[in-house]
Structure 1
Amino acid sequence: MSWFMFGALMLLFEGPLFICNTPSKDVAVWHRLKLVESAARRKNLLAFLGANATRKVPQAVIIGVRKGGTRALLEMLNLHPDVVVAKAEVHFFDWDENYQKGLDWYREQMPVSLPHQLTVEKTPGYFTTGKASGRIHGMSSSTRLLLIVRDPAERVISDYTQVLYNRKERHKRYQPVEEILIQNGKLNVEYKAIQRSRYDIHMATWLSLFPLHQIHLVDGDALIEDPLSQLQEVEQFLQLPPRIKASNFYFNQTKGFYCLLAAGHEKCLDQSKGRPHPPVHQSVLRQLCLYFREPNQNFFRMVGRTFNWC
């Protein structure tokens, strides 16, 4: 690289670019690229990277579960220099109108990556959409799948909480959670949030196409308490070199959960994450726990591990 080129890059990045301690010039530039927010600067950087930078369909997909911590998992994975992530939920495999646009359209929704990097997309609706497993398998039978799960009863309440806040923000009427969950004195098992928490039913669909060793389960409750341990397991599953460290996390006392640190930059999930749940009558929670007892045991047998759920 000429001194002129080096100086131009210094101006482009508005700061020093350290290349000597990185495996290659391209990787060093890419590390900086992941921190650049300006679209114009991104375009200039990609031009510098040249033909090495391409868009690929994801080799790994976070398939769910909804309200399980998929956004947190994606942002934490993005700390890894060998990972690039699709920032928005693409809904390619679960929405017919997007799937009909074809694989080339899907590829264009992915971030630009270098040859050695892993592209990851997350759309939590995939797990509970019957068509999604076959469509992903049709794209590539070797796609690695990440499924983050949490206590299904808690997930139901979290699902309701999101709807509740959305309706409040739009000044729309809403029903108390008890009125939705209990109808005619019985648990409303047809409620969509309850059906989404039937992990055993949905997992059977995925296991009919993908071997269990191709699906990694992330403990959503443990991700909140000890994110590093979960991310280290994900690194191993994705066959990534260990790069995410304890120094990448700090506990935010105000928010009540871990935030991220990378290259001197801090990042916390937005205010829609970690919202407090509305109070729920204990009798309703007991009915939820009782209902999920057998489905949970079925799920545990399927995946060969147990979780500390009610």
Structure 2
Amino acid sequence: MDRLDELAIFVRIVEDGSLVRAARRLRRSPPAVTRALAALEDRIGARLIDRTTRRLAPTEAGRNLYEQARAVVAGYEAATAGAREAPVRGLLRIAAPVQFGRRHVSPLAAHFLDTHAEIEIELLLNDRNVDLIDEDVDVAVRIGALADSSLTARRVGHVRRQWVASPDYLARRGVPKNPADLARHEALLGTSLGAMDWSFARRRRGAPLRLEGRFRTDDIETRLRAVRDGRGIAQFLSYQVADDLAAGRLVRLLRAFETAPLPVHLLTKGRAHRAPKIDVFLEFAASRLSALPVLHPD
């Protein structure tokens, strides 16, 4: 963290009177703000903030530094006011779920690199929900309901949970007509928490059905291969099986019992002082992802 950044954080702490509020306004984590204050106090060699039971207050040294720091930060912001017209450049860190990232974000990122010669991209593929602030991510693709947060979300479509099986498997074992029929079938399951519980619309208000499949794996591609090979029935997000359904390699099952669609969003840390590269990529990605048929399943 550079010294100007430390001063900007210090100014925000003094003005907000709270480390938590300052962190929220700056789109940082509270530990990061605390570390910045400690580093500045070490560099100055004086305590800058007194902590009371109800509020943070600057010490005498803190008040003196605050007046100077506020002028420095304001001058910097004024000097860079026109920077948003600068060329799009720098490093973009983008996060996405593994399969969605491989199929849709990676080609999009490559195209963005082709059209912006001064951009670098780090694409982070992980099925957990990354913390944009703690992990310094600029843009993330998130599938599913969003928790309340200070992040800015832009919806680009939705996906569905769908049950599928191969034609060969269904010819041998029959086609299930309702969730209860699944007790007589082989279920191909994931290994994560809740992966063995399938929820259904119109079944006691979506109550989950506990299944005991003989083959379980945490890898989606491996599970896809198993269902294509006729080893059972599996549940996937609609974008993961769209090509197989279109080609006839898999058959969609229990459609009337599918639960509500899951929204797909692009997340960023907020609009305030956002770098031009993020805004440009956000528009680029949103327009292209929104046009994908797989994000508008029937």
Name the TM-score class by shorter chain: under 0.3
Identify the structure with bigger relative contact order (alpha carbons < 8 Å, sequence gap 6+).
2
TM-score by length of 1: 0.24
TM-score by length of 2: 0.25
